[in-house]
Amino acid sequence: MKRWMSVCGYADLMPERGACALVGAEQVAVFRTFDGRLYATGNRDPYSGAYVLSRGIVGTREGEPTVASPMHKQVFSLVTGACLDDPATFIPIFPIRVTSGMVEVSVL
C-alpha cells in the first residue's frame, strides 16, 4: 500500500528546475516540466555517489523528459529512470501526484 507524503506546493516548483525533498529516509528529486508534468526520482547520482540529481539539467531526448547529472553529465529518463548513456544503470522512480495543490510523493 502506498503512503503519500506532501513535499511542497505545486506552484512552488519552477518549471525545468529540480527540488530535493526528504521522504521518509529517501532523498527524492522532484521535477516540474514546462508542460506541467511532475516526476520524482532518487536524488543520488549512481556514478559519483553524490546526492545532486535535483540540481541537474532538465531537458528532453527524442521527446522523453530527462535530467542530466551535474557531476558527470549522464542523462537519465524521468519516466523510466534508465540512463540513456548506459542502459544498464538506473535511478529509482517514485509515484508522484498533486492533491489540493500539494505535490505528494510515495516511496513505498
Per-residue pLDDT of the chain (108 residues; tens, 9 = 90+): 789 999 999 999 999 999 999 999 999 999 999 999 999 999 999 999 999 999 999 999 999 999 999 999 999 999 999 999 999 999 999 999 999 999 999 987
Which CATH number among 2.102.10.10, 3.90.870.10, 3.30.200.20, 3.40.630.10 corresponds to the domain 4-106?
A: 2.102.10.10
Distance separating alpha carbons of residues 3 and 17, to the nearest angstrom: 25
Strand 75-77 to 93-94 pairing: unpaired
Whether the predicted model's global pTM rises above the 0.85 cut = yes
Q: Where are the chain's structural domains?
A: 4-106
- The per-residue pLDDT for 38 is 98
